[in-house]
Copies of this chain bind each other. A is one copy, B any other.
Amino acid sequence: MKQLLIYALVASVVVFPSLECFPQTISPKETATAMLKEGMTKMQAYDMLSELTAIGPRLSGSENYEKAVKWAKAKMLSLGFENVRLNPAQIPHWVRGKTEFAEAVHGNGKKLPLTICSLGGSIPTPMNGITADVIEIHSFDELKKPGIAKGKIVFFNRPLDPTRLNTFEAYSDASEQRTKGPSQAAAAGAVAAIVRSMTLAHDDVPHTGSVMYDEKFPKIPAAAVSTNDADALSALLKERAAVHVTLKLDCQQLPDVASASVIGEIRGSQFSDQIVLIGGHLDSWDLGVGAHDDGAGCAHTLEALSIIKRLGLKPKRTIRAVLFANEENGLKGARAYTDSEAKVGKHIACIETDAGGFSPRGFTVADPVTLAKIQKWSDLFALAGAGEVTSGNPGADLLYLAKLGIPAIGFRPDSQRYFDYHHSTHDTLDKVHPRELELGAVAIAIMAYQLSENGL
């Protein structure tokens, strides 16, 4: 009690002290403000992201991914997290190979080199490649016309809708071309698929991402083409003479690898078996270094817990950081975590950060009852710029937990630039702004602590 009085006295002089012995009696607004001050003064998130991205790309199954696991575990230990451990998962091991070649040749002899990359999970072409006529498609319905794609390379070229304020909605509408397009094309007799990169930018780099083969149809090779070259190919096709494309890919699927997600926590001081989860994914695509996707989410997660620890807060419930394995091409980390951990402790809520490291705008909450509760805290999140609490789904890593009825919350930073970098060589550290990133960690710390203190 005497100690508490001293804390109260300290708090009255230095209003928001950054102390191990942070007083527990201050208001939620004072706590949130202290988190903001602590985060924006120390700015640790960007340093962590800098270390993580220095490892390089972190595709599941790669050596770099295993380095990232070691880094994450060591970082959690150095930050003083408790119960730091690995959560085993068998993860896929797809490798890009060295040959990624595509060239369009017009009937009049005009050649157009295409900047492409294999889609993640694609099968390779034969060594000499595939050469076939090309047909441009904007919707799967067009493939229903009998014979339209028979023996051809299908070129899916529906752009993201630029009029959607939330670029994730534009991505969500268009990305079926990449995930399902190759099998839809195969069902119509196509021999390969080329997909317009899933970005609103007009640029010269291809953006990869998973293809999800439907086992009912033959697997065909699939590549992404840069948006500028997609436009050029479309223009060539409008010249109304046959255009054929040669495509060569030597990517391959290797046997699964034993790997892990990484877990650490601050144990709850009153209800330690009740868990508030914060998570991002530790893997990335093999192009770029996954600075926004999802290095930023890892940095958010680590720094959110670290801010709470640095302030000496003692959350009532356990706040747990999970850096998931294999979000990009399998969700095996999320699956394994859910299978092994969902019933060990009671997850009262999960927060996912997998939408980049830009300025916070708010959170999405899937179910209306939880949404209504959390919206009452909007003014606290607004201290870090994250006051917009709206209806919506989190990311993929919470899919299985949400199916168990656990409230799932998505962190939502500004989305305008995200798909410029997403899944491409452009997703590098310099695209992340230190203050924007740190504000995200602060917003998530505020959310997690509110959930910890109040439950749901």
Mark A residues whose CB is within 8 Å of B: 36-37, 40-41, 43, 162-163, 165, 167, 200, 359, 361, 383-385, 387-388, 414, 416-417, 420, 433, 435-436, 439
Q: Is the CB of B433 within 8 A of A383?
A: no
Query: What residues on B are CB-neighbors of A37 within 8 Å?
Result: 163
Q: Is the CB of A165 within 8 A of B36?
A: yes
Q: Is the CB of A162 within 8 A of B43?
A: yes
Task: Determine how close the nearest CB of chain B comes to the CB of A258; give it in whole angstroms.
Answer: 41
Query: What residues on B are CB-neighbors of A36 within 8 Å?
Result: 163, 165
Task: Determine how close the nearest CB of chain B comes to the CB of A179; give it in whole angstroms.
Answer: 24
- Supposing A433-B416, A435-B416, A439-B416 touch, asked if A162 and B40 sit within 8 A by C-beta, the answer is yes
Q: Is the CB of B385 within 8 A of A165?
A: yes
- Supposing A200-B435, A359-B359, A435-B200 touch, asked if A41 and B416 sit within 8 A by C-beta, the answer is no
Q: Is the CB of A417 within 8 A of B439?
A: no
A-B contact pairs, 11 of them (CB 8 A): A37-B163, A40-B163, A43-B162, A165-B383, A165-B385, A167-B435, A359-B414, A385-B414, A416-B435, A416-B439, A420-B433
Give A436 to B201 CA distance when docked, in angstroms.
12
Query: What residues on B are CB-neighbors of A416 within 8 Å?
Result: 359, 433, 435-436, 439
Give A36 to B166 CA distance when docked, in angstroms.
12
Query: What residues on B are CB-neighbors of A414 within 8 Å?
Result: 359, 385, 414
Give A436 to B418 CA distance when docked, in angstroms.
12
Query: What residues on B are CB-neighbors of A417 within 8 Å?
Result: 433, 435-436
Q: Is the CB of B359 within 8 A of A41?
A: no
Give A436 to B387 CA distance when docked, in angstroms.
19
Residue of B nearest to A385 (CB): B165
Query: What residues on B are CB-neighbors of A387 within 8 Å?
Result: 388
Task: Determine how close the nearest CB of chain B comes to the CB of A75; give it in whole angstroms.
Answer: 23
Residue of B nearest to A383 (CB): B165
Q: Is the CB of B165 within 8 A of A384?
A: yes
- Supposing A416-B433, A417-B433 touch, asked if A439 and B165 sit within 8 A by C-beta, the answer is yes
Residue of B nearest to A420 (CB): B433
Residue of B nearest to A414 (CB): B359
Query: What residues on B are CB-neighbors of A388 within 8 Å?
Result: 387
Task: Determine how close the nearest CB of chain B comes to the CB of A388; give it in whole angstroms.
Answer: 8
Residue of B nearest to A162 (CB): B40
19 further contact pairs, Cβ within 8 A, besides A200-B435, A359-B416: A36-B163, A36-B165, A37-B163, A40-B163, A41-B162, A41-B163, A162-B435, A165-B383, A165-B384, A167-B435, A359-B359, A361-B385, A387-B388, A414-B414, A416-B433, A416-B436, A417-B433, A417-B435, A420-B433
Give A387 to B359 CA distance when docked, in angstroms.
15
Query: What residues on B are CB-neighbors of A200 within 8 Å?
Result: 435
Give A41 to B361 CA distance when docked, in angstroms.
24
Query: What residues on B are CB-neighbors of A40 within 8 Å?
Result: 162-163
Give A40 to B388 CA distance when docked, in angstroms.
22
Give A41 to B420 CA distance when docked, in angstroms.
17
Give A43 to B416 CA distance when docked, in angstroms.
14
Give A99 to B43 CA distance when docked, in angstroms.
37
Residue of B nearest to A436 (CB): B416
Residue of B nearest to A435 (CB): B416
Give A414 to B387 CA distance when docked, in angstroms.
14
Give A388 to B362 CA distance when docked, in angstroms.
12
Give A361 to B384 CA distance when docked, in angstroms.
13
Query: What residues on B are CB-neighbors of A167 within 8 Å?
Result: 435
A-B pairs, top 6 by smallest CB distance, nearest first, are A40-B163, A37-B163, A40-B162, A416-B435, A359-B414, A416-B436
Give A383 to B166 CA distance when docked, in angstroms.
10
Query: What residues on B are CB-neighbors of A385 within 8 Å?
Result: 165, 361, 414
Task: Determine how close the nearest CB of chain B comes to the CB of A357; give it in whole angstroms.
Answer: 11
Give A200 to B433 CA distance when docked, in angstroms.
12
Task: Determine how close the nearest CB of chain B comes to the CB of A440; give it in whole angstroms.
Answer: 11
Residue of B nearest to A167 (CB): B435
Query: What residues on B are CB-neighbors of A162 within 8 Å?
Result: 40-41, 43, 435
Query: What residues on B are CB-neighbors of A43 within 8 Å?
Result: 162
Give A388 to B359 CA distance when docked, in angstroms.
15
Query: What residues on B are CB-neighbors of A383 within 8 Å?
Result: 165
Give A297 to B388 CA distance when docked, in angstroms.
26
